[in-house]
Amino acid sequence: ANDLHHSCQWGSGIRWGDGPTDTGMQRLALSEDDKSVRDWFIQTMKDLKCNVTVDEMGNVFAVRPGRRADVPATFIGSHLDTQPTGGRYDGILGVLAGIEVIKTMNDMGLETEGGVGVVDWTNEEGARFPISMISSGVWAECIPLAHAHNLKEVPTVASLPTAASAPETMKSALQKIGYLGAVPCSYKSTPMAAHFEVHIEQGPYLVSANQRVGVVTAVQAYRWFRLNVIGRDTHTGTTAFEHRADALYAFAQMMVRAREVASSKGCLASVGIVEAKPGSVNTVPGEVSFSLDIRGPETELVAEVERELRTAFDAIAAAEGAGIGKPCRVEWTLDFDSPAVKFHEDCIDCVQQSAQAVVADASVADTTSLVRTIMSGAGHDSVFTSKRVPTSMIFIPCKEGLSHHPEEFSTADDCATGASVILQAVVRYDRK
Amino acid sequence: ANDLHHSCQWGSGIRWGDGPTDTGMQRLALSEDDKSVRDWFIQTMKDLKCNVTVDEMGNVFAVRPGRRADVPATFIGSHLDTQPTGGRYDGILGVLAGIEVIKTMNDMGLETEGGVGVVDWTNEEGARFPISMISSGVWAECIPLAHAHNLKEVPTVASLPTAASAPETMKSALQKIGYLGAVPCSYKSTPMAAHFEVHIEQGPYLVSANQRVGVVTAVQAYRWFRLNVIGRDTHTGTTAFEHRADALYAFAQMMVRAREVASSKGCLASVGIVEAKPGSVNTVPGEVSFSLDIRGPETELVAEVERELRTAFDAIAAAEGAGIGKPCRVEWTLDFDSPAVKFHEDCIDCVQQSAQAVVADASVADTTSLVRTIMSGAGHDSVFTSKRVPTSMIFIPCKEGLSHHPEEFSTADDCATGASVILQAVVRYDRK
Ligand SMILES: NC(=O)NCCC(=O)O
Ligand SMILES: NC(=O)NCCC(=O)O
């Protein structure tokens, strides 16, 4: 826990309280602050006698060797980047728990069959470069390297700590901070026996039920889109509503409709980014671009929401500007598609057994109820590792289920529980 | 008309056709392009033997002396700045018509009692600095100089041709291009006998009725607000709708409601600028700021729309986030208030008579129907001059009533008609 806050000195974000650690985080992927924490992570792992490699996506792998050199290491992974208004736990906890595991193993002199590794995946958040989990996606060979390298940063991210006039690509940003590694980014070059990840839940289920550990069995589906609405610039003072093709008014109706449709199917639909052009008080915006994030427990449900919204948005666009025979148009671009995932039974079993063992000393009569299985609402690098190697995750509770917010918080006890569970899970998996 | 397009070489905007003049304009107030066209305007007026002065707001006054030095000049005024996606006529026509008038008077050797002036008012559009007609407002002593000098530029204006990292104020921008003049900005220092302005209608009435001149008798009321909606950042993938205080969703509902309420009262309500923070695909925006422009034929109607929207927006904000006991809040700031204006009878009469005289040679049986009285939907510098001196305006038709758009267009004939009408109106007024 000390290390966790120590690592947060690089990229401290919005202050929300008086305590020394009462700030959020603003450590966008591949920023100068991200470089600093990576440098610290590598030095820490070298000091712990790990072998460190960096691949072409800047993923950092640190391996504590095992008895056998011929089998791949079991990895603990997560990410050190954050949202622009992020907290101190999302991702950071997972990497720091990995460091704790290695320290503990060293302290105990524990030998393992295969090695045990810790990996910091690049740009998991998708906040600076708008594809989440992109670098584990390249590693899994689900996303082409060139596509990732050419991906441009989002211009609207608040206080982006980069002074470049043209938006950086992932490749130029990797080069800038010296993290464009030589190792090919692939599960073939950096193989893993398994991948475990501990993370704050980012939702309210554990905390509101007073439960201590979530055994994550699945991850819901999501799709990210960039939409463009094209209308016509015109004067706000002289143009009757019937004579407008107001791209922003069309957007507003679309956003309202998106919640209706998603709700009706037990899904989510959210807009995080919106840009209206030309951006002048007295010009009706002729162009609006926005992000749309659709999620649901099943891949097919997300597809259904998308289909209904395509129809609904077309109708909204067609109505706005019909009066002048110049209706708005709407264009969709799919940026990222993450189907629903089920984790590996073997890994889930290891986590389940470990979680029960860790909570067994809790002063509660029936400790089994302190552990529950859970589906993740958020995406994680484990989604992509699961395409190639056995994978599962561990959730711990967080205050109010709040995440992607400076006040994101988990107690030191809960963080320690997460670290203990993942340590045991790795050891159990290694012994299988 | 040649001069009009000549002057558009500085700040040419979006191309919409193949012809040499088929581009819009992007000449934001006090940009380098604005400096260039101002330099050209001053040189042109000096060549026409006018006396040129620049005041503390960068307003440029050029006066052709009359017989008597003891009476103030009658002015023709408008502006050379444009919207970010503006056209070649809005404002530019008015200044260029002024130049034509002076040229014609010189060619004819016409003597006037008082002088005749042409004025280029700074930042009429309110696009770069978000108060329209601000510099005629300071001249009329309706807006304090310090308030205007400290006004910051809008950061979202697309392709703002300024590389400053911190937003410029009007004062720093004036200094940067060397147009912070020494003359106090006041009707007391630069008095006028009257102010006339020719402008494209920017609306569809003249063009759709095949009428040639609008005698502008009044200007509708408007108010500009900046609103902030404060909600709570949270994760888009893990936060149920009931657990959100989504500032952007609240905004979307507000914008839809604004049109409903304004429509019901024969008014307009428009949003030109919207910014959502932090601006990340997978973070529900916790803060949204947007501009709101409310207009109506009567001051009281605009106030009514405002009152209804204050109530409605409060209700929308209160509902969003109620599920977590953290409802959104909405804050209003009034940036600019322009009550409805009626122009001066004497000036209206001069314009009416001049318009009839100019269209009299048209090959139509009943030429009186080619001229109509009209209320302006847009604001103009004449709004502020009318607070201090007799004022009125002349409208000419424009294609499709379109303005604040690159394709804004008026025929050379219509522009010439406007120039002829304003020449006659000035001469008529001078002789009164
Ligand atoms: N865990 C997390 O916040 N990941 C970011 C990707 C997502 O939006 O789900
Ligand atoms: N004429 C004109 O477009 N003026 C700008 C001020 C307004 O928005 O009405």
User: Nearest residue of B to residue A24 by CA position?
Assistant: B233
**pLDDT digit string, tens, across residues A106-152:** 999 999 999 999 999 999 999 999 999 999 999 999 999 999 999 99
Cβ atoms within 10 Å of B265's Cβ, excluding its own: 17
Partnered with residue B338 across adjacent β-strands are B222
The average pLDDT across A172-189 equals 98
Ligand 1 atom 5 nearest Cα: A125
pLDDT, position B295: 98
Q: Is the dihedral of CA B90, B95, B96, B101 positive or negative?
A: positive
Sequence letter at residue B180 = L
Is residue B71 within 8 A of residue B113, CB to CB? The reply is yes
Q: Measured in angstroms, how far is the CA atom of residue A380 from the centroid of ligand 1?
A: 6
CB contact under 8 A, A403 and B272: no
CB contact under 8 A, B282 and A405: no
Say if strands B74-78 and B116-120 run parallel, antiparallel, or are unpaired: parallel
> What span, in angstroms and rounded, lies between the C-alpha atoms of A76 and A65?
14
Q: Which of B85, B157, B271 sits opposite A233 (nearest CB)?
A: B85
Is residue A406 within 8 A of residue A8, CB to CB? The reply is no
φ and ψ of B48, to 5 deg: -90, 15
pLDDT, position B263: 98
For residue B397, whether the previous peptide bond is cis, meaning omega lies within 30 degrees of 0, is no
> What span, in angstroms and rounded, lies between the C-alpha atoms of A343 and A374?
11
Helix (H) or strand (E) holding B304: helix B299-319
Ligand 1 atom 8 nearest Cα: B282
User: Nearest residue of B to residue A231 by CA position?
Assistant: B405
Ligand 2 closest atom vs CA B378: 9
Distances A41 to A36, A99, A121, A133, A361 between C-alpha atoms, Å: 9, 9, 12, 19, 32
Q: Measured in angstroms, how far is the CA atom of residue A222 from the centroid of ligand 1?
A: 10
Give residue for tokens 């002074």. Answer: A163
For residue A130, whether the previous peptide bond is cis, meaning omega lies within 30 degrees of 0, is no
**pLDDT digit string, tens, across residues A309-334:** 999 999 999 999 999 999 999 999 99
Q: Measured in angstroms, how far is the CA atom of residue A379 from the centroid of ligand 1?
A: 5
The residue to mutate among A25, A123, A132, A273, having the most atoms of ligand 1 within 8 angstroms of its beta carbon, is A132
Give residue for tokens 């700031």. Answer: B333
Helix/strand number for chain B, H first, E second: 12, 18
The closest alpha carbon to B224, from A281, A77, A323, belongs to A281
> What span, in angstroms and rounded, lies between the C-alpha atoms of A79 and B41?
59
Give residue for tokens 């023709």. Answer: B76
Of chain A, the percentage scoring pLDDT greater than 70 comes to: 97
A160/A218: higher pLDDT: A218
The closest alpha carbon to B296, from B254, B338, B324, B351, belongs to B338
For ligand 2, which residues put their CB under 6 angstroms from it?
A 235, 237, 282; B 90, 124-126, 132, 202, 378-380
Q: Measured in angstroms, how far is the CA atom of residue A404 from the centroid of ligand 1?
A: 9
Is residue A287 within 8 A of residue A276, CB to CB? The reply is yes
> What span, in angstroms and rounded, lies between the C-alpha atoms of A354 and A356?
5
In 3-state terms, what secondary structure has residue B32?
helix
Cβ atoms within 10 Å of A325's Cβ, excluding its own: 7
The residue to mutate among A235, A239, A281, having the most atoms of ligand 2 within 8 angstroms of its beta carbon, is A235
Q: Measured in angstroms, how far is the CA atom of residue A344 from the centroid of ligand 1?
A: 20
- String of DSSP letters for B244-288: ---HHHHHHHHHHHHHHHHHHTT-EEE---EEEES--TTEE-SEE
> What span, in angstroms and rounded, lies between the C-alpha atoms of A259 and A257?
5
| Chain A hits for B252, Cβ within 8 Å | 251-253, 255-256
Cβ atoms within 10 Å of B32's Cβ, excluding its own: 14
* Reported confidence tier of residue A157, pLDDT bands at 50, 70, 90: low
Is residue B170 within 8 A of residue B148, CB to CB? The reply is yes
Report the C-alpha dihedral over residues B232, B237, B241, B244, rounded to 10 degrees: -10
Distances B306 to A191, A320, B329 between C-alpha atoms, Å: 63, 24, 17
Distances A220 to A297, A338, B44 between C-alpha atoms, Å: 5, 8, 68
Distances B303 to A236, B221, B271 between C-alpha atoms, Å: 17, 9, 17
Mean pLDDT rounded to a whole number for chain A: 95
User: Exposure pattern of B313-345 as b/e (b: 16+ CB <10 Å)?
Assistant: beebbeebbeebebbbbbeeeebbebebbebbe
The average pLDDT across A332-341 equals 97
Helix (H) or strand (E) holding B348: helix B345-359
**pLDDT digit string, tens, across residues A237-253:** 999 999 999 999 999 99
Calculate the CA A114 to chain-centre distance.
28
| Chain A hits for B376, Cβ within 8 Å | 238
| Torsion region of B123: left, alpha or beta (phi above 0 gives left; psi -120 to 50 gives alpha) | left
Looking at all shown ligands, the one closest to residue B79's CA atom is 2
Q: What is the pLDDT along chain B (432 residues), one digit of tens a residue?
A: 567 888 888 888 888 888 888 899 999 999 999 999 999 999 999 999 999 999 999 999 999 999 999 999 999 999 999 999 999 999 999 999 999 999 999 999 999 999 999 999 999 999 999 999 999 999 999 999 999 999 999 976 644 544 455 789 999 999 999 999 999 999 999 999 999 999 999 999 999 999 999 999 999 999 999 999 999 999 999 999 999 999 999 999 999 999 999 999 999 999 999 999 999 999 999 999 999 999 999 999 999 999 999 999 999 999 999 999 999 999 999 999 999 999 999 999 999 999 999 999 767 777 788 999 999 999 999 999 999 999 999 999 999 999 999 999 999 999 999 999 999 999 999 998
Looking at all shown ligands, the one closest to residue B283's CA atom is 1
A402 CB-near residues (< 8 Å, 6+ apart):
A87, A408, A409, B232, B234
In 3-state terms, what secondary structure has residue A40?
helix
- Best interface-test mutation with A: which of B270, B326, B333, B393 has the largest number of A CBs within 10 A? B270
CA triple B315-B319-B324, angle to 5 deg: 145
Is residue B293 within 8 A of residue B272, CB to CB? The reply is yes
| Chain B hits for A259, Cβ within 8 Å | 241, 249
Ligand 1 atom 6 nearest Cα: A379
Is residue A429 within 8 A of residue A46, CB to CB? The reply is no
Ligand 2 closest atom vs CA A238: 9
| Torsion region of B230: left, alpha or beta (phi above 0 gives left; psi -120 to 50 gives alpha) | beta
User: Nearest residue of A to residue B380 by CA position?
Assistant: A237
The residue to mutate among B93, B122, B125, having the most atoms of ligand 2 within 8 angstroms of its beta carbon, is B125
Which tokens in the block code for residue A371?
């552990």
CB contact under 8 A, A241 and B268: yes
**pLDDT digit string, tens, across residues A361-389:** 777 777 788 999 999 999 999 999 999 99
| Chain B hits for A124, Cβ within 8 Å | none
| Torsion region of A123: left, alpha or beta (phi above 0 gives left; psi -120 to 50 gives alpha) | left
φ and ψ of B113, to 5 deg: -65, -70
CB contact under 8 A, B282 and A274: no
Please give, rounded to a whole number of angstroms, the shortest distance from the CA of A144 to a CA of chain B: 21
